Structure 1
Amino acid sequence: MRNGILGAAAGAMALFGAGQAFALDEVSFGTNWLAQAEHGGFYQAVADGTYEKYGLKVTIVQGGPQAANRALMLAGKTQFFMAGNLLEPFSAAAEGVPLVEVAAIFQKEPQVIIAHPDTGIDKFEDLAKLPTIFMGKDGFASYFQWMKSAFPGFKDEQYKPYTFNPAPFLADKNSAQQGYITSEPFEIEKQGGFKPKLFLLADSGFNTYSTLIETTQDYLKANPDVVKRFVEASIIGWYNYLYGDNKAANALIKTDNPEITDEQIAFSIQTMKDYGIVDSGDAVEKGIGCLTGEHVKSFYDKMVTAGVVKAGLDIGTVYSTDFSCKGVGKELKK
């Protein structure tokens, strides 16, 4: 899957660039949660016509608690899906599920451990001193196993279930909780009246990509030109969302998810910039969305060491480096 699958894509794009009239290719992109600023670049490419410029009519299928958007893609009902992180394609490699990641919009997963200020927790490894860390069962089975492997002192006894309610954390100064750095800290500051200490897992070595563009292996083989155009238009959408006028995209986000506020959207955008969630690492020189085999293998090796995934998987089947790291859209960064 790594190389040699673009075929006629360059010729197709040359025709679009020549301004000839073609029917738009209709595709659907399923997100993995309710509409939010963390999906902003995709909404931007819809709102400002970038997808249409690339010969695409894109429908964003919003995710949520009851959504099954990956299953819809596997069934051929949609063409693309927003994968949360690399653990999902690793599982696909183990189980023979024919998925393939074609771009990594987030160079850093926004997963964060949140602690109270003024409690002597000043660096990531200090979190091992706390008696309680509230986290979901998926986090306990994944990044917490890595935490135990990479840093001495973390132990299973610290785990308490996280119910996506910050009240238990707010009530216990000697606790920490999981969250997305673009989301939970905003609510904690509003409810608790203090700025929490934030420890981004990515900055301590949990270097999975996040918000990956995923398709099926069969769709990629049959439609490399469509995949190329979708990836490149999405990348341009992300540059314009972060560094340009994003009002129309935010209006679409609020149409899909009326409960989200302008304040939350603004917080999320600024946090993505401040922490380099999208535009950092390889993306700085090679462009947003950059996905490399070296990065994927680095994270895979860490997960094998931590006992999270099996050794010996052919992970090369679940990603392609053909569509990113080309510097597309870099000139739009202001």
Structure 2
Amino acid sequence: MSRSIKNSLKLILGTVALACLAGPVAAQEKITFLTSWYAQAEHGGFYQAVAKGIYKKYGLDVTVKMGGPQVNGMQLLTAGQADFIMGYDLQVLSSVEKGIPVTTVATSFQKDLQGMMTHEGVKSLADLKGKTILAASTAHATWLPWVKAKYGYTDAQVRAYTFNLQPFFADTNVVQQAYPSSEPFQAMKNGVKVNFFLFADEGYPPYGTTIVTMQKTVAEKPDVVARFVKASIEGWKSYLADPTAGNELIKKDNPKMDDEQIAFGVKRMKELHVFDGGDAAKLGAGIMTDARWEQTYKFMVSAGLLKPETEWKKAYTTQFVKDLKIAP
């Protein structure tokens, strides 16, 4: 055999050996994640995980799709058109009651973001007796029974909230439901001084911006779920440290969301410690506890929103967050 052929063989064998050492190139697992509304700062951690390549680091090819008023996330999840959705504890518990096999695998926020906006003279939620309370129809099956039971508000106080702030602006006796970065921001832009009270800071138990999937996915693809959860929580930590990358994708999906609105949202999330407060301060971001879920279950039962015999522990699992220990 000639020297040139021997050298060629050595080169080929060396290349093969290197390829074997490198191992096969793993295909990225394709994942579709559906948010609950139009892209905004409150979804930033998921967009950040895409923008900064955090999902890819964990072998995931994630597409974030926006929700909206005409999008039924739970329906799309159960139909297999989404692998994970941004969920809400009360919705998941109600679905489990109906026999829909969904479950919550992590939470972005230790606090639900729902609250009340008042004029600046109001000092606490206990001061609302005699005030007109504007609440959307969905409030009657979520936070309204809780505040009525806690503070003694009456049905006579409640009027429909039509997502128009003019009635609030026109009457200092009116208070209304709000999210920290939405209605208060609009009030600020209109020169109206307001106070905002987060229900979670008064004991309202649901988590906020949770990650929900099918029970079948947990059983059959626990590794994929674990990677998605870890990458998403890392995305949130990264976003709240520097949201620049995630914001670009948010504005791409939702051009109506401008820099000032996003910055206000990020500021409020930090001030309210929705990501790093509560149990997350000690147990790590993304954490959920049995005690907290039991609180939500008991609230729903007491309010007539859930049957007592509902297998409420199927609505969540802590297996993907109990040892996550990502410092907020």
* TM over 0.5, shorter chain: yes
**Residue 314 (structure 1) aligns with:** 311
Residue by residue over 1:247-280, the C-alpha shift from the partner in whole angstroms, topping out at 9 and shown as x without a partner, is: 1110000000000010010000010010111211
In the alignment, is the contact (CA less than 8 A) between 1:31 and 1:82 conserved in 2? yes
How far, CA to CA, are the matches of 2:106 and 2:70 in structure 1?
A: 26
CA drift at 1:82: 0.4
Name whichever of 40-49 and 270-279 sits farther off. 270-279
Name whichever of 203-212 and 306-315 sits farther off. 306-315
How far, CA to CA, are the matches of 2:40 and 2:71 in structure 1?
A: 16
Unaligned runs of 5+ in 1: 1-17
CA drift at 1:202: 0.7
CA drift at 1:20: 6.9
**Residue 139 (structure 2) aligns with:** 139
Residue by residue over 1:165-207, the C-alpha shift from the partner in whole angstroms, topping out at 9 and shown as x without a partner, is: 111111111010101112110011112x133111111111112
Aligned positions of 1:116-195 closer than 5 A:
116-118=119-121, 121-130=122-131, 132-152=132-152, 154-191=153-190, 193-195=191-193
CA drift at 1:138: 1.0
Matched, 1:80 2:84: yes
Aligned positions of 1:1-334 closer than 5 A:
21-83=25-87, 85-118=88-121, 121-130=122-131, 132-152=132-152, 154-191=153-190, 193-243=191-241, 245-330=242-327
How far, CA to CA, are the matches of 2:23 and 2:167 in structure 1?
A: 58
Residue by residue over 1:28-85, the C-alpha shift from the partner in whole angstroms, topping out at 9 and shown as x without a partner, is: 00011000010000000000000000000000011112223322211112200000x2
In the alignment, is the contact (CA less than 8 A) between 2:130 and 2:157 conserved in 1? no
Partner letter of residue 154 of structure 2?
K
The secondary structure found in structure 1 opposite 2:209 is: strand
Q: How many residues align?
A: 307
How far, CA to CA, are the matches of 2:73 and 2:138 in structure 1?
A: 19
CA drift at 1:157: 0.7
Unaligned runs of 5+ in 2: 1-21
The secondary structure found in structure 1 opposite 2:129 is: helix
TM-score, normalising length: structure 1 = 0.89
Flag as ranges the 4+ runs of structure 1 deviating above 3 A: 18-21
How far, CA to CA, are the matches of 1:170 and 1:278 in structure 2?
A: 31
How far, CA to CA, are the matches of 1:133 and 1:52 in structure 2?
A: 46
Q: Structure 1 19/190 Cα, relative in aligned 2: closer, same or farther at 3 Å?
A: farther
TM-score, normalising length: structure 2 = 0.90
RMSD of aligned alpha carbons: 1.5
Partner letter of residue 67 of structure 2?
G
- When Rg is computed on C-alpha atoms for both structures, the one with the higher figure is 2
